[in-house]
């Protein structure tokens, strides 16, 4: 096996990225499917209901993982944009472009499931509280990046404009994260912390952790699939893609 | 252990069924879309490339034979 720097260098070339990730896909898909299935069934049918909220609490098993990934995914998009701008790496721009609709979808899930959870819990689908409003801003940032990607006929200009927006918008992430601490909010404070214990009962926490892991696998899978589609499109005039289309090489 | 008395109770979720099931349904529908969509796009691109290749091969063959 070649050295680690060589491995990264090859990963950065669209063609080798395409074939390397092709081998990872079945494993990612299997992991995502298993983790999400186990987590969902566990959370819906076997985890205890909340003492105050009852069964509407079960929405947490998709709401929290989707929100986590919406935030983490924004960093993925912004970093990919930065790498693309600084080192002019084609593949990095492609990853950034792929991360935008994926992040938008996860933010959408987070907002919709939050609204559906809010109705039985708070009596309303929507409230202009700090966290919810900043998540809506996140959704608009993702849509903005998508819009800029499509606004320019010149790919280079599209890459630059959308990367700049992605980078400027990163300030929103710590705001979302700390919103429940800085403002008097309706949305409840963090129950999962990186340091120290969680305030959640293990019977509720365990399926949540499984779902978070499942969503991470799902994110990786979706991002790789979208990047591969983008690679094929942008490299459609190269000989390796022509071979791929003719069925001369395995996918 | 299974938290509900019966499947009917599981569906009803003590009155919160609509919210819970709508959340999960919308989520999985959207997740399926974001997986399938790039697969279709890749297939479409490859199909278009193949078609383009066939066209230019025919064009080249026609050119050489007319010489």
DSSP chain B: ---SSSHHHHHHGGGTHHHHHHHHHHHHHHHHHHHHHHHHHHHHHHHHHHHHHHHHHHHHHHHHHT-
Per-residue pLDDT averaged across B41-63, rounded?
Answer: 91
The 3-class secondary structure across A2-38, one letter per residue, is CCHHHHHHHHCCHHHHHHHHHHHHHHHHHHHHHHHHH
Of B37, B48, B50, which is closest to A246 when you measure between CB atoms? B50
Tokens linked to A174: 């710590």
Which chain B residue shows the shortest CA-CA distance from A224? Answer: B38
Work out the pLDDT band at A181, boundaries 50, 70, 90. confident
A160: burial class by Cβ within 10 Å (0-12, 13-18, 19+)?
A: middle
pLDDT band at A251 (very low <50, low <70, confident <90, very high): very low
- Closest A-chain CA to B45: A233
pTM: 0.91
Taking 60 as the threshold, does the pLDDT of residue A194 lie above it? no
Residue B14 has pLDDT above 80, yes or no: yes
Model ipTM value: 0.89
Q: Chain A: nearest CA to B67, how far in angstroms?
A: 27
Across A132-154, b (16+ Cβ under 10 Å) vs e yields bbbbeebbebbbbbbebbeeeee
- CA distance to partner chain B, nearest, from residue A36 (Å): 10
Report the pLDDT value the prediction gives residue B42, as an integer from 0 to 100. Answer: 95
Contact B23 A112 (CB under 8 A): yes
The contact set of A with B (CB < 8 A) is 40, 44-49, 54-56, 58-59, 62-63, 66, 98, 101-102, 105, 108-109, 112-113, 116-117, 119-120, 218, 221-222, 225-226, 228-229, 232-233, 236, 241-242, 244-246
Instruction: Give the pLDDT band (50/70/90) at residue A196.
Output: low
Count other C-beta atoms under 10 Å from residue A54's C-beta.
16
The residue ranges of every structural domain in chain A are: 60-187+200-245
Asked whether B28 and A113 are in contact (CB, 8 A), the reply is no
Please indicate whether, in this complex, the C-beta atoms of A108 and B22 are within 8 angstroms of each other: no
The rounded percent of chain A whose pLDDT value lies above 70 is 94
Phi, psi of A50 (to 5 degrees): -80, 140
Q: How many CB pairs under 8 A join A and B?
A: 107
Mean pLDDT of A210-229: 97
Q: Quick one: DSSP state of residue A54?
A: B
Chain A residue with minimum CA distance to B6: A45
Cβ-based contacts of B29 with chain A (< 8 Å) = none
Taking an 8 Å cut-off on Cβ atoms, the answer to whether A229 and B10 are in contact is no
Residue A208 pLDDT exceeds 80: yes
pLDDT at A195 > cutoff 60: no
Using a CB–CB cutoff of 8 Å, tell me whether B30 touches chain A. Answer: yes
Question: From CA B42, how far away is CA A3, in angstroms rounded?
Answer: 31
């Amino acid at each position: 096996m070649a050295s680690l720097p060589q491995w990264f260098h090859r990963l950065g070339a669209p063609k080798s990225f395409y074939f390397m990730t092709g081998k990872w896909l079945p494993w990612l898909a299997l992991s995502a499917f298993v983790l999400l299935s186990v987590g969902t069934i566990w959370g819906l049918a076997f985890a205890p209901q909340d003492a105050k909220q009852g069964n509407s609490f079960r929405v947490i098993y998709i709401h929290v993982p989707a929100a986590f990934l919406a935030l983490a995914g924004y960093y993925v998009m912004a970093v990919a944009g930065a790498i693309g701008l600084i080192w002019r790496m084609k593949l990095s721009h492609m990853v950034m472009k792929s991360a935008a609709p994926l992040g938008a979808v996860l933010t959408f899930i987070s907002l919709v499931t939050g609204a559906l959870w809010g109705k039985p819990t708070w009596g309303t689908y929507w409230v202009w509280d700090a966290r919810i409003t900043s998540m809506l801003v996140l959704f608009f940032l993702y849509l903005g990046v998508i819009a800029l990607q499509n606004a320019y006929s010149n790919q280079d200009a599209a890459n630059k404009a959308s990367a700049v927006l992605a980078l400027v918008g990163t300030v929103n992430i710590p705001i979302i994260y700390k919103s429940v601490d800085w403002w008097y909010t309706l949305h409840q404070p963090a129950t999962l912390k990186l340091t120290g214990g969680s305030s959640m009962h293990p019977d509720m926490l365990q399926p949540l952790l499984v779902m978070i892991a499942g969503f991470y696998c799902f994110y990786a899978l979706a991002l790789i699939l979208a990047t591969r589609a983008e690679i094929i499109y942008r490299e459609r005039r190269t000989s390796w893609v022509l071979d791929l289309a003719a069925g001369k090489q395995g996918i | 252990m299974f938290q509900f008395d019966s499947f009917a109770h599981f569906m009803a979720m003590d009155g919160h069924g609509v919210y819970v099931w709508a959340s999960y349904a919308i989520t999985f529908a959207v997740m399926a879309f974001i997986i399938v969509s790039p697969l279709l796009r890749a297939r479409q691109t490859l199909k278009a490339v193949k078609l383009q290749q066939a066209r230019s091969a025919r064009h080249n063959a026609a050119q050489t034979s007319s010489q």
